[in-house]
Amino acid sequence: MLVGKESFCDFHTIQEAIAVLEQLPSNEMETLTILSGTYEEEVRIYRSNLHIIGIGQVDIRMNRYARERDEAGEEIGTFATPTLFLGGSHLILENLTISNTAGQGEAIGQAVAVYAHCDKTVFRNCTFKGHQDTLFTGPLPPAPKERLKFGGIPLREHHAHYRQLYQHCYIEGTVDFIFGGATAYFEDCEIHSLRHHENQTSYVTAASTPQGKAYGYVFHRCCLTAEPDITPVFLGRPWREYAKTVFVDCKMGKHIDPRGWDNWDNPANEKTVCYQEYGVPDVALLRSQRVPWADCFEAGTEVWGKEQVFDGVAFWKQGEVVSHDDPKSHIKRL
């Protein structure tokens, strides 16, 4: 299927195409190609086995925000704001820019660009733009802290695992702009911190790793960059007490606070979180600067490959099929 503004396209909006795709059997991989352009729409995808490819500059954008009021006059909340929602498994997204353009400030609150409530999902060469809470990697924690329920987009399916791979992606934001409970692997990505609207302290991650999960967030060979003259930024703080986040062979700008990590105003979190850095050139110096309840190591990076993190489930190779044109058979990528 082809989405675009041209008359020959099957659909002119992404959601129209998704509505048709979700009527088809979801046990086989379907491919949706999107021509270059700006698509101002909310996209909700529940189906599994879907490959979405953007050609040229494909920008999907919307501007919902947490403090926006619904018809009853109530705030819609964080999880009703995403520009793109993904609820299935075996998904591949390539060459897409997904933006929440609501901006930032007290009147805005959180504004999600991507709500990834999905398993066995690969993002390649994608861009995620927003401010607070840009990228949410599901699942949600068991219960909210300050309200009766999380609300937001209805969840039709809950997965046993939430495994996500981000390759050569660009992710920007201010506060907790990568957050959630998934086992998410960020490989060769640029993680860019924007200036907070009041130039207050910001945080790259806010993991909510479920208790007992071996892995939370893994950043491998990523570059952490920032706008000029930004207030120091922390690598992470725990949205829930068993948060796990590790940076492996990453390069970090001077905007990163020397302490590295924050306990979210709760010293008890220091006993339960797992915050680590591997491949550190001057490990003795870094240890003297970082908070004492986080670890940093000079070596040991070899144990952080995605094969180990995803426990041998090589779902990132999805999208490959065996061609029968050759009697010897060979692998071709869709």
- DSSP string of 87-111, one letter each residue: -SEEEEEES-EEEE----STTT---
10 in active site: no
Residues 6+ apart with CB under 8 A from 220: 185, 186, 187, 188, 248, 249, 250, 304, 306
Residues 6+ apart with CB under 8 A from 52: 31, 32, 33, 34, 91, 92, 93, 94, 96
297 vs 276: CA distance, rounded Å: 8
Out of 119, 133, 176, 262, the active site residue is 176
First to last CA, the chain: 14
* 233 membership: H or E segment, kind and range: strand 233-236
Positions marked active-site: 176
